[in-house]
Amino acid sequence: MLTATTVALAKRYPGFRIDVYPTHRTASLPQAVLDNSRKNATAAKSLNGGIAFDNVLPGVPFPIPQSGAEAMWNFLLRYQGVNIHSKYDSWSVDTAGVASLAVTGEAFVSFPIYENMAKPINNSDIYYQLKLSYTGPARRAGESIMLKNATNPLQRPGRAWQYMPAQRRVKQISILAYDTPNPGTARALELYDWTLVGKQEMIVPYNTYKLTYARDAKSLTTPNFIAPDFVRWEKHRVYVVEGNLKAGATHIYQKRRFYLDEDTWAAVASDQYDTSGQLYRGSFAFFSQSYDKQVPDATPFMTYDLSKGTYNINGVVGPHGGIRYIEPLSTAQWVPESMAGTGIR
pLDDT digits (tens, 9 = 90+) for 254-296: 999 999 999 999 999 999 999 999 999 999 999 999 999 999 9
Nearest to 131 by CA among 160, 165, 96: 160
Peptide bond connecting 137 to the previous residue in cis, omega within 30 degrees of 0: yes
CA-derived radius of gyration, the chain: 19
Beta bridge partners of 295: 290
Fold (CATH) for 4-342:
outer membrane lipoprotein receptor (LolB), chain A (2.50.20)
Strands 267-273, 279-285: pairing kind? antiparallel
pLDDT at 182: 46
Cβ contact 318:101 at 8 Å? no
pLDDT at 341: 66
Cβ contact 274:251 at 8 Å? no
Q: Which residue spans within the chain are E strands per DSSP?
A: 19-20, 45-47, 52-54, 83-93, 99-110, 126-136, 144-150, 159-164, 169-173, 192-205, 232-245, 255-261, 267-273, 279-285, 288-290, 295-297, 301-305, 310-316, 324-325
d(CA 213, CA 270): 23
pLDDT at 187: 55
Weakly modelled stretches of the chain, pLDDT under 50: 177-186, 344-345
pLDDT at 287: 96
pTM: 0.94
d(CA 162, CA 174): 10
Strands 310-316, 83-93: pairing kind? antiparallel
Cα angle: 209, vertex 78, 333; to 5 degrees:
90
